[in-house]
Chains A and B, each alone.
Chain A
Amino acid sequence: MGTLLKVSNLKKSFGGVHALKDVSFDLRDGEILGLIGPNGSGKSTFVNTIAGLHQPDGGEVMLGEVNVTGLEPAIMARHGVARTFQSSRPFLNLTVLENVVIAALLHEKTTAAAETLAIECIEVAGLKDLLYAKASSLPIEKRRRLDLCRTLALKPKIIMLDECLAGLNPREMEEGLDLVRVLNKRGIAIIFIEHVMKAVVSLCHRIVVLNQGELLAEGAPADVMKNTKVIAAYLGEKYIHAGN
């Protein structure tokens, strides 16, 4: 598998807080990469910095051969890097269809063509019965689906999912994971940020762990879970021995 996204020594500070300190890793073609870490470890900052919402203080982001470091969000979307937000952010006063059409217009010239693409994506996301429902009327689970649906309509190479399962019950979570797998099967590489370990382990091909803005571990899910540094970061030193 080739490298799709190469992040080298990414740095970002907010005043005196070093949210990201020299983070480097690769995302490979067609991969689902889990990004985990305790609260405040820099996961969302990482997504926001790649997506162009924050300007990095240093480091480099390469998308294939293209240097995309610090490009603004709209340009990143054009380069095929899509993202969802930690809190679901649909356009509340617009219908499901309008929400997705806006995304589909990135690649489609006319609203009619964008509508066709949007309906296709809405079917994939399982929201077909809700085409004309206002986003504000949707429960959280459907809103999360709508978030995913909008990113799909951008025809992206990469989707960064920032806790896209937050607020869902276990059954909804399983269905959400299935949807992520469907997107991945379409050839879209995924960076998956999540707190629920079970979800991460069952979904991801590889995991990177952030702690206090630094890369703590990287590897296959099972290996990372056994890594003593990871256990220490999550649960504290004394659990290492208990775990063994």
Chain B
Amino acid sequence: MKNVKMIALICGAIFALGFPLVVHTSYYIHILFMVYLFAALGVGWNLIGGYGAQLSLGHSIFFAIGAYVPVLLMLNFHISPLIGGIAGIGLALLAAALIGLPCFRLRGPYFALATIAAGEITRTLLLHFQGVTGGANGLPIPFHGDDALNLQFSTKAPYYYLALTLLVVVFLLVRYLEKEKVGLYLAAIREDQDAAESLGVKTMHIKLLAFMLSAAIAAAGGQIYAFTVAYIDPDGVASINLSIEIATVVIVGGIGRLWGPVLGAAVVILLTELTNIYLGAMRSGASLGMYGLLLIIVILLRPDGLISLFDRFDPELNKKGSK
């Protein structure tokens, strides 16, 4: 069984690394780019939303910060997005701390509501300060020829590899944390916060830490997205739809499961594209309807997410279950 897993992993790696070398249609590359991006966002969101069960519906805040900060720094001060990106991540960390401190005093749905509010405030601020952010018109990033330092490439492939790298790094990080103290403490918080506290778990610290890490990952994703699409606006990078899409990817794939968001992103993004192709006339309404339908189906039939379909093939899970 372990071999089968290994072979699947190697095949996946060869496919992911080789795809842009074989397929040159930028539309297909872009679809896979979106899969990796949302997989990375989902794996990061899972830290707080899945392992810690604190349903954040405000991750667009950090995605937007990650997108706007390096773009603004580049357009206004000619600072390379490699540095601007770090500034974006730093600001996202700060924002997560400022939002988390008051919001984590709330539990369950109240926390989720507070994050929705924070997300809407961010979007409104981006719309309001037109002088800086361009308001509803957004900010186009003018193309001045290939320039790696400014994340400007004439083909889609480099962005594809950037998103893939982000996914791999984030995946390995979360895989490590899952087995460590933080992961166990988050599981304790998910199960029973009061009992966790009684066992010496400083729940506020752990939740903040997970939220901030998760925010930093969203910011990194926002930056890669901004430079790939070369245009950002509040509705594109700061809307509640984005926050919901990140959560949907995880819930559909398997909440609190390492591979869940990866599978979820593949299913959700591909279905979105299919809906856009075949139901394009209805535009965004169709894909939102599709999210709703998908969520209902998964929650009714597979509350543990699509990844649970593979559980029967996992000998380790079965061994522990039967003991």
Contact = CB atoms under 8 A, between A and B. Distances in A.
Contacts, number: 72
Contacts of A51: 198
Given A89-B194, A132-B320, A74 B187 contact: no
Contacts of A83: 198
Interface in B205-260: none
Nearest to A53: B194
B202 interface: yes
Nearest to A156: B200
Interface residues of A, number: 32
B203 A74 contact: yes
Contacts of B188: 91, 94, 102
A73 B320 contact: no
B196 interface: yes
B197 A103 contact: no
Q: How many interface residues does chain B have, given as a range?
A: 20 to 34
Contacts of B323: 130-133
A102 B185 contact: yes
A94 B185 CA distance: 12
B179 A106 contact: no
A95 B320 contact: yes
A73 to B, nearest CB: 4
Given A89-B192, A98-B184, A74 B179 contact: no
A145 B195 CA distance: 15
Given A74-B200, A111-B180, A105 B185 contact: yes
Nearest to B184: A102
A85 B192 CA distance: 12
Interface in A11-29: none
A162 to B, nearest CB: 11
B191 A91 contact: yes
A226 interface: no
Interface string A85-96: 100011111110
Contacts of A95: 320
A102 B199 contact: yes
A206 interface: no
A74 B195 contact: no
A72 B199 CA distance: 11
Interface string B295-323: 00000000000000000000000011101
Interface of B: 179-181, 184-185, 187-188, 191-192, 194-203, 319-321, 323
Given A91-B187, A130-B323, 13 more contacts: A51-B198, A53-B194, A53-B198, A74-B202, A82-B198, A83-B198, A85-B194, A89-B195, A90-B195, A94-B187, A102-B185, A105-B184, A132-B323
Interface of A: 51-53, 72-74, 77-78, 82-83, 85, 89-95, 98, 101-103, 105-106, 111, 130-134, 150, 154
